[in-house]
């Protein structure tokens, strides 16, 4: 049981490039979400999904797309990276009463 896994751990992009942050969970959780954390700040919700085929926006969705084709996977796409998207990204999946977080992806956009 690996829990929530995220790849890559580190990534450097140039402004305008695109990429996908991967997130997978093996706990059969219906609810998954993406957060970003800027230095010295708490986490902010980007997008979330309550099940395969269903996604919705969180607090800071602009510049990010998501899809949920399977229960296990919830990728986050940056279509045209901007320096303001430099952050640490955490994926989470949820069971009754608690959320399980992945180790994070540290993204730098230059």
Are 74 and 10 a contacting pair, CB within 8 Å? no
CA distances from 54 to 15, 31, 103 (A): 30, 10, 24
Q: Judged by CB under 8 A, which stretch of 15-23, 41-49, 64-72, 75-83 contacts another protein?
A: 41-49
Triad 78, 86, 81: Cα angle to 5°: 30
Exactly one of 33, 55, 85, 87 binds another protein (CB under 8 A); that residue is 33
* 20 is a site residue for another protein (CB under 8 A): no
Q: What is the DSSP letter of 84?
A: G
Check binding of 48 to another protein (CB under 8 A): yes
Q: Per rule CB under 8 A, is residue 25 in the interface with another protein?
A: no
Contact between 11 and 108 under an 8 Å Cβ cutoff? The reply is yes
Looking from the CA of 6 toward its CB, the CA atoms found within 13 Å total 24
Assess 74 for contact with another protein (CB under 8 A): no
- For residue 97, state whether it binds another protein (rule: CB under 8 A): yes
Q: How far is the CB of 22 from another protein (least distance, A)?
A: 15
Tell me which residues touch another protein (CB under 8 A).
4, 29-31, 33, 35, 40-45, 48, 50, 58-59, 88, 90, 92, 94-104
């Amino acid at each position: 049981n690996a829990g929530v896994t995220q790849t890559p751990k580190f990534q450097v992009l140039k402004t305008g490039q695109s990429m996908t942050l991967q997130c997978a969970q093996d706990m059969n959780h219906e609810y998954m979400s993406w957060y970003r954390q800027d230095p010295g700040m708490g986490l902010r919700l980007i997008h979330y999904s309550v099940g395969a085929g269903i996604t919705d926006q969180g607090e800071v969705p602009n510049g990010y797309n998501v899809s949920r084709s399977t229960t296990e996977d919830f990728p986050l796409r940056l279509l045209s990276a901007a320096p303001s998207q430099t952050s640490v990204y955490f994926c989470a999946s949820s069971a009754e009463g608690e959320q399980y977080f992945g180790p994070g992806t540290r993204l730098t956009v230059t």
